[in-house]
Amino acid sequence: MKKKLISILLMVSMTAVLLAGCGGSNDTEEGSADSGNDFAGEELTILVSAGWMDNRYDETIERFEETYDVTVDVQTIPADQYSDVLQSKLSTDSCADIFWIQSNPFAIESVIVDPEQYCIDFTGAEWKDKMPESRLSSCEYDGKLYGLQIWHNSPEYVMVYNKTMFAELNLEVPSTYEELLTICETLAGADVTPWFMPGADGWQHQLAFFQIGGAYEDDKPGLYDTLNNNEATFADNEKMLQVLEQFKELSDKGHFGEDWIGTDSTNMMNEFADRSCGMAMANSSFIKQIQDETDSEDEYGLFLIPLGDNDTYPTNPSGPTMFGYNGTEHPELVEEFFNFVTSTDSLQEILNNSPAYTNVDMNDEDVEQHWLPEEEEFMATIDESKTGTPVLQTGTKYTNDYWMNFGADMVAYCQGTMEANDVLKNMDTNRAEAAKVAGDAAWE
Amino acid sequence: MKKKKIYPMYFLIIPIVLYVVFFLLPSILGIAYSFTDWNSRSMDSVKFVGLDNYIEIFTSDKNYISGILNTLKFTVVSNIVKLIPALFLAILLSEKLKGKGIYRTLLYMPSILPFVIIGIIFTSVLNYNNGLLNIVLEALHLDFAKQKWLSELSVVWKSIYGVDAWRGIGYVMTIFIAGLSTIPRSYYEAAQIDGANFWQRLRYITIPMLSSAVMINLVFGITYGLKVFDIVYVLTKGGPGHATEVITTYSYQLYSNGQYGLSTALNTVLLVVTAVIGVFVVKKMSKQEVQQ
C-alpha cells in the first residue's frame, strides 16, 4: 500500500513538473509583446560565414541594438561549412532572420534557387540607389530586389610584391609569363620564396587560374557566352591548358615554396615582413595590413597576374551579400536593419573598422574613403579597355559552385595524379550536372 | 523448466519503436532515395532513376572507386597497426610494473579526445615548415627524416595511420588487458616449467585464450575502419588532391554539392560492404563460440 502511494505521488509530481515547464514559457511570451517601442525585446539573428562580417559590423550592430532596444545574434559559421549549414537551414525552414551568400550575377539562382520562397522582396527600398549599378545584378533576380551588397572596389587578388626587394635585385614588374619565370628564378637564387602560395587553405591557389578570365576571353572572344550556352567547354581550351601547365611548372620548380600544398595563409603577412617571400596573390589592402601590423619598412606594389601573358584587370561584380529570410518572424525589423546599415554613419563605421579594406563601394559621397597611394598608382596603369570582362568564376554560370573541387583537382594535377585536361573536364562535368539540376535549357 | 520472466515483453515496445523510427526507417528511406535523382533543387519533385547513381559511382571520372579501395585499405592497415602494438603493450602492462596504472591511463587518454582537437593539434605538429615534428628532427640533426607529412603522396597515408594509431591503441589495449586478466597464471607457470620461451607462450597460450578479445577488437576496428571519416577529414580533408579520399569524404562532398541521391547511393554501397563483412565476422565468431 505504501509503495503504491509513493509511486503515485512520484508520478503526479513528475507530471506537474513537465506541465509547469510548458505553461511557464507561454506566460512570458504573451507578456513581452505589449511593452515599449515596436521592436523592444526582440532578437534579430544573422547567419554569416567567417570573413564576411567578423568584427567590422560590431560598432554598427551595437548602435542598432541601442537605438531599437533589441538584441542581435550574429551566428558566424566557419567558411568551409557555411554553404552546407545554409542549405540545411533553408530547406528545413529554420534559417536566421538575415542570411548572407557570396553573390554574383548567377549566385542567387544557383545558391538560393528560389528567392521568391526564401527571400524578402525589397523592391522599392531606398538603399537600392546606394549600390553601384555594376553590383545590382548580384542583388536582383527576375526584376525584384533581394540582396544588399556592401563591399569594396579595390583590386582583388592581383599580385602584391615587395618593391624594395625587387629594386635591390634589379627586377622589373613582369608583364609576361617568361618575365615572371625569370624573376622567380632570381628570387629563388636569393633564397627567397618567389611566389608564396597557401595551398592548404583550399580556396586560394585556384585564383591564379580564375582571376585572369579576361585573358581567356581575349584569346577566344565570345568564350563566356558560349560557355554559358553550353556551346564551348573548359576541356581542350588551349589558353586554359597553357595556364595550368605554367602553374605546374612554377610548382615543380619549387617557386611556390617547398611545401605550398601543406602551407596555409595564416603566416603570410609575416613571410612578407620577414622577407621570406617576394610576391603573393592578395588584395591591395593587404599592403596596408603589412604596414600597420608588422614593422616592415619595405615598400610594396601591385601588378596583374601574368600567367598566360594576361594583361586584363580582374573585374568582379560580386561580394558577400545579405538577404532577408522570408520565413522571419519580424520582417519589419529586418527592413529597419537594412535601412540602418546603409546610412552614412554606419557605412563609415564599417569602413573604419575594416583595416583590410580601403574603401566601401557605395554611392555615398559623405563617406570618407581610405584609398592607398599604391592602389591609386596601380589603377593609373590599368587600361580602361582591359576592365570589361569579369573574372571567370563570376562571368560563367555554375563555375563558382565548384571552386573547391577545381582547387583539389589542380593540386592532384601538380602532384602528377591527374592530367591538366582532366581537371578541365571535371569542371565541365560538374557544370553540366548543376545545369541539368537547375533545368537549364542550354544543357538539355 | 519455464524460467520466470522478470520483465514482461511489452517493455520492449518503446525501445523497438525508437529504434525503428530513428535508425531502421531512415536507413531504408535512404536506400530508397539512392534510386532517385534527389538533390537540393528538386526537394519536392524527386524522380525515380533506377541504377543511374550506382552506374555513376562505378564509371565516373571522379574515381569514387579509389575512395572505396582507400576505405578497405584503411580498414585492413589501421587494424594491423593498432592491434599488434596494443597486444604487446597490454602484455607489458599486465606484468608487475611500478606505476602501470599511470601508463595505462596515459595510453588510454588520446581516445577520449574529440577528433577536431586531434586534427587541429596534428595539422600543426605535422606542418612541414613550422611543425613540432620537423623542428625536433632538425634539432636532432635528422634533417633527412623531415617530410611533408600531410602533403606528400608517399607519406600522407602513413601520417594518417600514425595519428589514428596514437588515438586508438589505448582503447584496443584496454580490451586486451581485460582479456589477459582472465588467463590463469598457472598456464604460464606450467609452460615456463616445460621450458617455453616468451614467443612460444605468446603463441600457444596468450593468443588462443585471447581470441574473444581479438574478435571484439576486430569487430570494432572493422566497423570503425569502414566508417572512417573524422580522422581523415580533420587531417587532410581528403587531400592532397584526392589522395586520401574515402567513401565517407566523397559522400560528404556530394552532400555539400546538393547531390543527395548520389551521396546516399555511395552510403548504400558502404552499407552493403559493411553488411557482407559483418555477416562473415559474426559467422566466424559463432563458429568459434561453438568450438569453445
Query: A324 pLDDT exceeds 90?
Result: yes
Q: How many contacts (CB atoms, under 8 Å) link A and B?
A: 81
Which pLDDT does position A32 carry in this prediction? 42
**β-bridge mates for residue A303, sequence order:** A159
Contact B244, B70 (CB under 8 A): yes
Buried b (16+ CB within 10 A) or exposed e, B126-149: bbbbebebbeebeeeeeeeebbbb
The separation between CA B149 and the C-alpha centre of its own chain, rounded to angstroms, equals: 21
- CB nearest B241 (choices: A412, A433, A438): A412
- Inspect the interface and report whether the beta carbons of B238 and A202 lie closer than 8 Å: no
Q: CA A362 to CA A131: how far, in whole Å?
A: 5
What pLDDT sits at residue A28?
43
Residues in chain B: 292
Q: Rounded distance, CA A437 to CA A269, Å? A: 42
Q: What is the pLDDT of residues B210-246, one digit of tens each?
A: 988 998 899 899 999 999 999 999 999 888 889 999 9
Q: What is the pLDDT of residue A441?
A: 87
pLDDT attached to residue B1: 53
Interface contact A417-B129, CB threshold 8 A: no
| Cross-chain residue pair B240–A262, CB shorter than 8 Å | yes
| Model confidence at A36: pLDDT above 60 | no
In angstroms, how far is the first alpha carbon of chain A from the final one?
Answer: 77
With CA atoms as reference, the chain B residue closest to A113 would be B41
ipTM of this predicted complex?
0.82
Q: Percentage helix, strand, coil, to 5, in chain B? A: 75, 0, 25
The whole-number pLDDT of residue A195 equals 96
Burial of A166 (0-12, 13-18, 19+ CB in 10 A): buried
- Interchain contact A267–B (C-beta under 8 A): yes
How many helices (H) and strands (E) chain A has is answered by: 19, 11
pLDDT in tens, B56-87: 899 887 889 999 999 999 999 999 999 999 99
Q: How far is the C-alpha of A101 from the C-alpha of A209, rounded, in Å? A: 23
Q: Kindly list the structural domains of chain A, giving each domain's residue range(s) and its CATH number in brackets, ordered by start.
A: 43-153+318-369 (3.40.190.10), 158-312+398-443 (3.40.190.10)
Does the distance separating the beta carbons of B239 and A261 come in below 8 Å? yes
Q: Does domain B67-291 have CATH number 1.20.1250.20?
A: no
With an 8 Å Cβ cutoff, are B153 and A413 in contact? no
With contacts defined as CB-CB under 8 Å, which chain A residues touch B242? 408-409, 412, 417
Mean pLDDT of B183-189: 91
At a CB cut-off of 8 Å and minimum separation 6, what does A347 contact? A150, A341, A360, A362, A364, A367
Of A81 and A428, more confident: A428
Report how far apart, in Å, the C-alpha atoms of A39 and of each of A25, A33, A64, A68, A242 are: 20, 9, 11, 6, 58
Pairing state between β A98-103 and A43-49: parallel
**What confidence tier does A26 reach under pLDDT thresholds 50, 70, 90?**
very low
